[in-house]
Amino acid sequence: MNWLRSVFALLLCAIGIFSAPQARALTMCSVTSTPLDFNSATAGGTTIATLSYQCSTLSFASHVAVGMCFAIGPGSPTPPSTIANRVMTNQAGDPLPFQIYKDPPRSQIWGDSPAQPSYLAIEIDYPVGVVGQLSGQINIHGSVADLSQAAAGNYRNVFNDARLIYSYRESTSPNAPKCDQGNGATTEYFPFEALVTVPPKCTVVTASDMNFSPGGMPLSGTSTGDLTSTSTINLTCTKRTAWQVGLDEGQNPNGGVRQMCNPGGACIAYQLNQPDGATPWGDDVDVDTVDGISAGPPQTLTVNGRVNDQPLTQAGRYSDTVKVILTY
């Protein structure tokens, strides 16, 4: 009886051995990408990101062939970004056009499906014999619009929709399947971003002279009389650049009062006011300067000058030089 139980147990073990499932072959691929960074763009506004992939196989087959498709969608925000017209946006939502291409001449837009503009498809194969692997790199070619026309800000487009689709076949000499057909059709995401920073920038283009004497005639008589005049300051700033314009005390200040002087050393006091005509214009940032945020086109500021009636001890020409101080 004990002998029969032992035979029965051995038969059960044998059945368990022959009915165990066979180990399945396994191929896995992964991918990463560097940013498409236009801050280091070459002339013409072009740059390259690097996409790195790796495939590993555990199999008794001698070779494996993998069909791989690298898909890149419109990114975000969507809209306004589309595959045909990709854009980055800054904090204010200003769009900056750019594009991603599959080829160095930048003629083939990189898409996310078999339809045009299509994804990038490649085929790879490598030996296995239990364990095998292959890695490689692909360039992502980018171009960006003229940055000199862009508003200031940090621009981004985050591609959470970038993905690798792959399938594989194994044998002694397999043909690679299409990426979404064959064994183990799989999708792996590889988020990356396009980025560029457009710095704020301002330039004073012109600052005209202010002439208090009608017709440019020298002052004469015993007093100056009340005199007024204006000049203009023209500046150009990148859109969304915050700026402040200050005027210093000139070359001949006296107790915080600006003065025009003649070659003989006689001086007369004068004032410079902001475009409203009443507020004194100085150079203390955030206190008595004129400020604004550029909308893009050139900005013109009016300087209002005034000489209050005062004694004139010497006839002649009086002048002063005032510096325009631009802060941004």
The pLDDT tens digits of the residues spanning 41-59 come to 887 899 999 999 999 999 9
Residue in 126, 149, 143, 150 with CA at minimum distance from that of residue 62:
126
pLDDT > 70: percent of the chain = 92
Locate 151 and state its tokens: 């508003």
The span from the CA of 109 to the CA of 119, in Å, is 9
CA distance readout (Å), 87 to 33, 99, 101, 119, 132: 19, 8, 14, 19, 40
CA distance readout (Å), 208 to 9, 252, 270, 288: 108, 20, 17, 21
Confidence at residue 8, expressed as pLDDT on a 0 to 100 scale:
29
The pLDDT tens digits of the residues spanning 59-115 come to 999 999 999 999 999 998 778 999 999 999 999 999 999 999 999 999 999 999 999
Residue 4 vs residue 317, higher pLDDT: 317
The pLDDT tens digits of the residues spanning 5-43 come to 333 232 223 323 333 333 345 899 999 999 999 998 887
Query: ∠ CA 76-164-193 to the nearest 5 degrees?
Result: 30
User: Span 160-179, mean pLDDT?
Assistant: 94
User: Is residue 290 within 8 Å of residue 283, measured between CB atoms?
Assistant: no
For the ranges 48-57, 157-166, 179-188, 280-289, the lowest mean pLDDT is seen at 179-188
The span from the CA of 184 to the CA of 17, in Å, is 27
pLDDT > 90: percent of the chain = 81
Confidence at residue 202, expressed as pLDDT on a 0 to 100 scale:
95
Residue in 198, 196, 194, 195 with CA at minimum distance from that of residue 150:
198
For the chain, list the domains and their CATH numbers.
Answer: 24-198 (2.60.40), 202-327 (2.60.40.1090)
Residue 217 vs residue 206, higher pLDDT: 206
Q: What is the mean pLDDT of the chain?
A: 90
The span from the CA of 35 to the CA of 191, in Å, is 9
Q: pLDDT tier at 291 (50, 70, 90 boundaries)? A: very high
Confidence at residue 314, expressed as pLDDT on a 0 to 100 scale:
94
Beta partners for residue 155, in sequence order: 196
Give the number of other CB atoms < 10 A from CB of residue 206: 12
Q: Any idea what DSSP says for residue 6? A: H
Q: pLDDT tier at 184 (50, 70, 90 boundaries)? A: confident
Say yes or no to pLDDT of 218 above 70.
yes
Residue in 187, 164, 168 with CA at minimum distance from that of residue 177:
168
User: Span 248-276, mean pLDDT?
Assistant: 97
Locate 247 and state its tokens: 């005027």
Confidence at residue 25, expressed as pLDDT on a 0 to 100 scale:
58
Please state whether beta strands 242-247 and 258-261 pair in parallel, antiparallel, or not at all (unpaired).
unpaired
Report helix, strand or coil for 38: helix
Confidence at residue 161, expressed as pLDDT on a 0 to 100 scale:
92
Q: What is the pTM of this model?
A: 0.78
The span from the CA of 71 to the CA of 113, in Å, is 7
Beta partners for residue 223, in sequence order: 311
Locate 35 and state its tokens: 């940013």
CA distance readout (Å), 24 to 59, 60, 76, 170, 179: 8, 10, 39, 11, 20
The pLDDT tens digits of the residues spanning 109-142 come to 999 999 999 999 999 999 999 999 999 999 999 9
The pLDDT tens digits of the residues spanning 221-246 come to 999 999 999 999 999 999 999 999 99
The span from the CA of 195 to the CA of 40, in Å, is 10
Confidence at residue 214, expressed as pLDDT on a 0 to 100 scale:
76
User: Span 150-157, mean pLDDT?
Assistant: 96
